[in-house]
């Protein structure tokens, strides 16, 4: 497997993987993936990656979204990691998240955040394995198909960036 930068021509499969994640009901409060232009504008342009398996399939993607436009939060971003259903449980998410963490630190990010439904134990475990910790939760933060959902807040602080 190789990890490379996500490029615009990857969007159809990335969007499908995102849609499949949405369909699980455990990935996001979003009800459908956005169009490319919206997704492109909301994600950090040089910190988006796809995992390509030996047969050429895109097995998953990871990207960062800034948490704020204020300059004091320039090193803080929210993580998204989505894995194609055929490749879940095969360490794709772990490889993508490790890559994203390394590259984000190279770009000066000191804090990565994630919001994960408490029921999504696989994603919580993946993030905890990679240095994230649960710092709290947002109770009844949004409705999904008429049902209020809680979201665990996870955070990873860099040991290399922002320590001084």
Per-residue pLDDT of 20-46, as tens digits, reads 999 988 889 888 999 999 999 999 999
Averaged over 52-72, what is the pLDDT? Answer: 93
Per-residue pLDDT of 89-145, as tens digits, reads 999 999 999 999 999 999 999 999 999 999 999 999 999 999 999 999 999 999 988
Instruction: Say yes or no to pLDDT of 164 above 70.
Output: no
Sign of the CA dihedral with 43 first, then 45, 47, and 48 last: positive
Return the H-helix or E-strand segment holding 18.
helix 11-23
Taken in order of first residue, the domains within the chain and their CATH numbers are 2-112 (3.40.630.30)
Can you tell me which residue has the tokens 């029921």? 119
pTM, two decimal places: 0.93
Of the candidates 158, 82, 63, the residue with the CA atom closest to the CA atom of residue 122 = 82
């Amino acid at each position: 497997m190789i990890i490379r930068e996500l490029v615009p021509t990857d969007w159809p499969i990335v969007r499908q993987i995102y849609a499949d994640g949405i369909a699980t009901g455990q990935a996001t409060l979003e009800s459908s993936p956005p169009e490319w232009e919206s997704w492109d504008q909301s994600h950090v342009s040089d910190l988006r990656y796809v995992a390509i398996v030996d047969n050429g399939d895109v097995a998953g993607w990871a990207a960062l979204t800034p948490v704020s436009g204020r300059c004091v939060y320039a090193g803080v971003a929210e993580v998204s990691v989505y894995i194609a259903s055929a490749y879940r449980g095969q360490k794709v998410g772990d490889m993508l998240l490790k890559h994203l963490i390394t590259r984000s630190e190279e770009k000066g990010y000191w804090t990565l955040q994630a919001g994960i439904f408490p029921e999504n134990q696989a994603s919580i475990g993946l993030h905890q394995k990679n240095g994230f910790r649960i710092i709290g939760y947002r109770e009844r933060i949004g409705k999904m198909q008429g049902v209020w959902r809680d979201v665990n807040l996870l955070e990873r602080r860099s040991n290399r960036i922002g320590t001084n």
